Amino acid sequence: MSEFDEWLAALGDEAKAAKLTEVFGWIERTFPQLERAVKWKQPMYTNEGTFIIGFGPYAKYFAVSPEAYTLEKFLPEIEQAGYTSTVNFIRIPWGGDVDLGLLEKLIDFNIADKAGYAKFWRDAG
């Protein structure tokens, strides 16, 4: 069993696990170069050793974390999609549709912007 499978099983909610399995499957079909990782008890995708996007479960939504820099750049599109956010993550309700076009833009941006980046996280500031 992979780390992702173990993480999904630990959610203890088949509907939530199924929803994230669909999202993860889409990511892996769309961005086959990305690598899976579970760090800090959160599933995430990396590229060439740098963070691209991460996920976290909450009671009413799952969080999508593209890093604060990326979230700020795409805030108008995030709000237009009907999602709320914090400085660090986007809230996607469990019962709603996932805007895969928005996720694609976030992931594309991070891959391009962090190409050749030597650190896991962007520098603050």
The DSSP secondary structure of 56-100, one letter per residue, reads: EE-SSEEEEE--HHHHHHTHHHHHHTT-EE-SS-EEEETTSPP-H
Please determine, for residue 3, whether its predicted confidence score (pLDDT) is greater than 70.
yes
Class of domain 3-113: alpha beta
Write down the pLDDT at residue 1. Answer: 52
Average pLDDT of the residues of the chain: 94
- Tell me the CA distances in angstroms from 44 to 7, 24, 35, 38, 82, one per residue in order: 11, 9, 8, 6, 23
Write down the pLDDT at residue 4. Answer: 86
What average pLDDT score do residues 1-26 get? 90
Element (H, E) at 35: strand 35-39
pLDDT in tens, 69-118: 999 999 999 999 999 999 999 999 999 899 999 999 999 999 999 999 98
Q: Write down the pTM of the prediction.
A: 0.94
User: Can you give the residue ranges of every domain in the chain?
Assistant: 3-113
Q: Are strands 42-47 and 50-57 parallel, antiparallel or unpaired?
A: antiparallel
Question: Are 66 and 75 spatial neighbours (Cβ–Cβ below 8 Å)?
Answer: no
What average pLDDT score do residues 27-54 get? 96
